[in-house]
Amino acid sequence: MKYPVNEVFQTIQGEATWTGTPSVFIRLQGCPVGCAWCDTKHTWDVEPIDRVTIPVMLAKDVDDRTYAEMTVPEVIGLLETYTARHVVITGGEPCLYDLTPLTATLLDAGYTVQIETSGTHEVRVDDRAWVTVSPKLDMPGGFDVLDSALARADEIKHPVGKGADYDKMRERILPRVAQGVPVWLQPLSQNRTATALCVNFATQHGHKVSIQTHKFIGVR
């Protein structure tokens, strides 16, 4: 099994339950969802012409479409060069791929593992992995948020730019989420109006607010 890896970097998880946790992010290439406000559009396409070697991928200092194919042992070997013991697998849409071999090996090696997914593809991970579902509704790619993905969610992290975003989530997502699963509302682009909306909705309905701490403190 090989995974198309766009980048690997160590930072602080700035969102939702794991906020403040030193983490190694593994960003996979490929996403057909098509969110207009996506800040990683360079990860959408997986083209053979963009494939590079692992050292070249690791050395790049700008966002681009290049990626390296990595096996599970290669990922584990790379992670041993970092100090953080929490691994976040993101994208792109990481659930395009069967993450079971990778997540199981990481967990057996003593890492905690978190997946960040839109919920539009089947979540294939080890049962011990933490799954963050950031549900993407009515996006240009035309994918539905799957019941199975919501059932697997350890937390919901919903982007909010306007009131209608929350209304759709409340009507179409929350009824399908198990009781007790934390729901985080995340303002789009640190917008003040969106932040005020999230605070208001969280206060009224018992949710939490995720404010992308890493962007406020100036780390990736």
Q: Which CATH number goes with the domain that contains 79?
A: 3.20.20.70
Residue 167 domain-assigned (yes or no) = no
Q: Is residue 190 domain-resident?
A: no
Give the closest residue to 165 by CA, choosing from 176, 154, 175, 173.
Answer: 173
Tell if the pTM clears 0.85, that is, is over it: yes
As for how many domains the chain has, the answer is 1
- What tokens appear for 206 in the block? 């018992």
| DSSP-assigned letters across all residues of 27-84 | EEP---S--TT-S-GGGS---GGGB--HHHHHH--S--S-BEEEEHHHHHHHHTTS--
Query: Is 189 contained in some domain?
Result: no
pLDDT at 148: 97
Q: What is d(CA 64, CA 72) in angstroms, rounded to the nearest whole number?
A: 23
pLDDT digits (tens, 9 = 90+) for 154-193: 999 999 988 999 999 999 999 999 999 999 998 887 778 8
Binned at pLDDT 50, 70 and 90, residue 213 comes out as low
Per-residue pLDDT at 218:
60
112 in any annotated domain: yes
| Residue 101 main-chain phi, psi, to 5 deg | -60, -40
CA–CA gap between residue 211 and residue 82 (Å, rounded): 26
217 belongs to a structural domain? no
**26 falls within a domain:** yes
In a domain, 180, yes or no: no
List the single range of 100-114, 140-154, 203-217 with lowest mean pLDDT.
Answer: 203-217
116 in a structural domain = yes
The predicted-structure confidence for 24-71, as pLDDT tens digits, reads as follows: 999 999 999 998 888 899 999 999 999 999 999 999 999 999 999 999
